[in-house]
Amino acid sequence: MQLLRLLDLPSATSVYDGTVKRDRLPHITHPHKRVFVMRIAFALAALFVTAPVFAQETGTLSVKFVYGGAAFKPAAVDVNKDKEFCGKHPLFNERLLVDEETKGIQNVVLYVFTGRGGSKLAPQAPTNATHVLANDKCRFEPRIVVLQAGDTLKITNPDAVGHNANLNFFVNPAQNITIPPGAEKLVNVAKAEPAPIPVDCNIHPWMRAYVIALDHPFVSVSDKNGSLEIKGLPAGEKLSFRLYHEAAVGTIKEVMINGKATELKKNVLELDIKSGMNDLGTITIPASALAVQ
């Protein structure tokens, strides 16, 4: 009946064939068939548009990473190139940064793992975002760039000296880009990469960054206090999360989650994600699993 009202047609009439009462739709004469078909199309479209759409519930994962040893100050860098410019900036080894007060570990990367044996996610729409990697004061900023396949990496050089960015991609075309002072270069990262990609400045050998290119947006990097959040996760599912830190000595086999020993398999942690906030608490990484050099 709703469809007939949308078509602006009279309702079906009831007739008898002698024994059984049947419903009969109004007769459509030949000249009106084209109009009738068009009304059908518009009516069906209206029904689909007005049909309720149920969005999947999502969850947020919150976690803090803590160093399982004594906090320490990072060592100063030996500035042996462009000393007049680079030497006036406080440069230090950024491979492993631990907050002296909280012992939080900076630049821990946590992301939904979709490789072999990992999570199966629905296809994710591209974001087509642009991410800046700056050669700033003879260091890369930020240390870790996370992006989604299809995004653009904009490499800038606000310094008064030249730099280069050597991107050792596995899947995307490898590039070694020279960036003069005040210049910038755009790099299209069309595909996801199977591992974090190191970015080096061969002119200044202490400079390093990493690019993590995924086929989804479910990734985050810990701040100076070791904290991170991953938002928009599909709720009601068990997801595989891979932990990465550049200072890891091989794979991290065991961590402490809120004081309880938890085994990792190939740096992967399995977690049930519920709707809303999922506060995992504190993950302590043993000092023996991380190395400064």
Q: pLDDT tens, 107-157?
A: 999 999 999 999 999 999 999 999 999 999 999 999 999 999 999 999 999
Domain total in the chain: 3
Q: Which residues, in sequence order, are bridge partners of residue 244?
A: 109
Check which CATH number belongs to the domain holding 159 and give it.
Answer: 2.60.40.420
Q: Which of 215, 237, 259 is the last residue of a domain?
A: 215
Same domain for 199 and 268, yes or no, is no
Same domain for 114 and 226, yes or no, is yes
Same domain for 258 and 194, yes or no, is no
Same domain for 235 and 98, yes or no, is yes
Same domain for 162 and 204, yes or no, is yes
Same domain for 105 and 226, yes or no, is yes
Same domain for 152 and 211, yes or no, is yes
Same domain for 93 and 197, yes or no, is no
Residue 247 tokens read as 């200072």
Q: Provide the whole-model pTM.
A: 0.81
Per-residue confidence (pLDDT) for residue 37, from 0 to 100 = 42
Per-residue confidence (pLDDT) for residue 215, from 0 to 100 = 97
Per-residue confidence (pLDDT) for residue 2, from 0 to 100 = 46
In which residue ranges of the chain is pLDDT below 50? 1-7, 9-26, 28, 30, 35-37, 40-53
Per-residue confidence (pLDDT) for residue 292, from 0 to 100 = 85
Same domain for 210 and 225, yes or no, is no
Same domain for 198 and 130, yes or no, is yes
Same domain for 135 and 206, yes or no, is yes
Q: Which of 215, 240, 270 is the last residue of a domain?
A: 215
Per-residue confidence (pLDDT) for residue 34, from 0 to 100 = 55
- Print the domain residue range for 179: 125-215
Place of tokens 């596995």: 170
